Amino acid sequence: MTGRRDWVGWHSAYDDPGSRMSRRLAVVRARISEALDAAPPGPVRAVSACAGQGADILDVLAAHPRRADVTARLVELDATNVEVARRRAAELDLTGVEVVRGDAALTDSYAGAVPAELVLACGIFGNISDADVERTVTALPGFTAAGATVIWTRHREEPDLVPSIMGWFEAAGFAPLWLSEKEAGYGVGAHRLVDRPRPLPPGERLFTFVKDGPV
C-alpha cells in the first residue's frame, strides 16, 4: 500500500478485538474460508492485492483443510509489511504462499498468478477515487477463473459507494454472494464470477491511492 498513512501501524487495530477493523477482519476471514470450501477440487490459486501483513488470509490458509491445494500471491508495496507477511507464512509453513513486494495497482504484478479462484481486494476501495474503484471492479474478470470468488471491502460512510460498487460488479459479470449490513460499521462483500473470464491486460495501472480515508 502507498500513501501518507502509516501502513505498518495501521495493523495495530487488529489487536483490539472491539475495533471496527478487528471485527471486519473476522468477517473477511470467514468469507475466505467459505470461498475455499466452495472451490472446485484440485489446485486453488489465490491473489491478494495490497495484502499488508497478510492478516486476511495467512491464518485462514494455515487452518483450512485445503491448505495443501492453495498457491497464493500476496502483493504489497511496504517493505516492512512484506517482511512481516513472509515471516508469518514461514512460521505457518505455507510453502505455497509467495509474498511479492510490488505495486498492487499494476496488472503486471499478477502475471503468472492468475486466473485465480480467490481474489482479495481488501483495504483498497476506501483510499482511491470512485472512478478507480469502477475501473478496478471492471478489470476483475481478468484476474479470475470461471466461478471464482472476489472478496472486497469498503467503508459505509457517506457518501456510501457500496450500492454503486454492487452495480459495477453486476455489470462486470459477477453475482453477489454476501454483503455485510450497513449498520455493522464496515463494508465487506463477496461476489462470484458468472460470466466468462477475460485475459489479464498487461501493463495497466488500475488505481492510485489518493487519500488516507477510512478503508
Q: Is the pLDDT of residue 19 over 90?
A: no
In this prediction, residue 13 has a pLDDT band, given cuts at 50, 70 and 90, of low
Q: What is the fold of 9-193?
A: Rossmann fold (3.40.50)
**Residues 133-171: tens digit of each pLDDT:** 999 999 999 999 999 999 999 999 999 999 999 999 999
pLDDT of residue 212: 57
Over residues 93-104, mean pLDDT: 98
Nearest one of 116, 135, 175, 183 to 98, comparing CA atoms: 116
pLDDT of residue 20: 86
Over residues 176-192, mean pLDDT: 96
Query: Structure pTM?
Result: 0.92
Domain ranges of the chain: 9-193
CA 122/CA 175 separation, integer angstroms: 18
Average pLDDT, the chain: 93
**Residues 21-68: tens digit of each pLDDT:** 899 999 999 999 999 999 999 999 999 999 999 999 999 999 999 999
